Structure 1
């Protein structure tokens, strides 16, 4: 189920649009359900077939709104972690990875969007790629800060570490979806955290 959809900035949608996005996530959270249509939405919300079109022009617009919601959620999670005091910088990187996994666990249906399984058009896929690039850049910036202030990773390693993080998250999401959310998306996190700490602590 889609949760905590912000109704104001930076993600500005109406209450009815939020209900539609929540319904998409409920549909996509069903076992082996990797696609949806606006007809599916109308049935789930007990509306006429034309009703969803009054709030979104097309399925593409629904997918773009979900991706925008994901980006707003990621930015909110990361900003909250950055505001934490008394935490080492490498711990913040780990917490960001953990937050992304928890986000999937709480919102399994959205994983079908983030793995592109539910996307049928190039515009949505391009926007999804931009979201993953944004996550990569956020992680890279965090590693750069560690290098500058803690002098921890090897110079130039920020690209490799950011790629490592994004690949792990995308792999975890892919397995979570492939197994129809029956396994815990957090299963591989402890081992990955050890690997990441080792990577962040090298001189």
Structure 2
């Protein structure tokens, strides 16, 4: 599995404290990354209440006004996390399609998604919607579209595994199996988040996939 499957938002280098002890002033783009990283880390706390901009500002030791110089709203911050999820996962979807053996692609897609969640528990709360409660409805709609797209990728992988051409219309069987695999993946993510990140998504994964594939 490529390392890109499990990467987190990287710590911006210019935020480091130099030898003189004076903290460098981060560039605007680097401050955005710091904000998103802090938000994701706050979401990793099991049982944590809804993250507020006041709490986020306090964690970063800045004013709320400073946050809004980089993001117009909290919804935009959460949208930044969703963009990271989309880019990370679908980059790996494309990589699996290009480099993996045909028969193994469906299982590798599920495994990749669950490994990403294990590495990024805060992101998991966004993916399953727990972090989006009481937020702008468009955020949940965007995550719904994410899973629709992931299910479509599974459907295509199943067709490839069956030896069909890329332009083939999915059979009823491949569509049903893709739906089951996607539902299984979402269920594992929900269990991970709601167990306080104790039940790992990849628990007995090989055996579970074998029973479905």
- The range that moved more, 43-52 or 101-110, is 43-52
What residue is the counterpart of 1:136 in the other structure? 151
Separation in structure 1 between the aligned mates of residue 98 and residue 48 of structure 2, nearest angstrom? 38
What residue is the counterpart of 2:129 in the other structure? 116
**Is structure 2 residue 43 aligned with structure 1 residue 28?**
yes
Aligned length: 186
What residue is the counterpart of 2:115 in the other structure? 102
Separation in structure 2 between the aligned mates of residue 19 and residue 158 of structure 1, nearest angstrom? 42
What residue is the counterpart of 2:21 in the other structure? none
Report the 3-state secondary structure (helix = DSSP H, G, I; strand = E; otherwise coil) of the residue aligned with 1:94: helix
For residue 93 of structure 1, the aligned residue among 101, 106, 112 is 106
Q: TM-score if structure 1 supplies the norm length?
A: 0.83
Unpaired segments of 5 or more residues in structure 2? Answer: 1-5, 13-27
Which aligned pairs between 1:1-203 and structure 2 lie closer than 5 A? 3-4=8-9, 14-33=29-48, 35-84=50-99, 87-119=100-132, 120-149=135-164, 155-197=171-213
Separation in structure 1 between the aligned mates of residue 153 and residue 204 of structure 2, nearest angstrom? 22
Give the deviation of 1:80 after TM superposition: 2.1
Give the deviation of 1:183 after TM superposition: 2.4
Larger Rg: 2
Give the deviation of 1:83 after TM superposition: 2.9
Separation in structure 1 between the aligned mates of residue 66 and residue 47 of structure 2, nearest angstrom? 26
**8 Å CA contact retained: 1:56, 1:62:** yes
Separation in structure 1 between the aligned mates of residue 82 and residue 59 of structure 2, nearest angstrom? 21
CA RMSD of aligned residues (A): 2.3
Report the 3-state secondary structure (helix = DSSP H, G, I; strand = E; otherwise coil) of the residue aligned with 2:162: helix
Give the deviation of 1:4 after TM superposition: 4.4
Cα deviation 1:41-74 (Å, max 9, x = unaligned): 1111111121111111111111111111111111
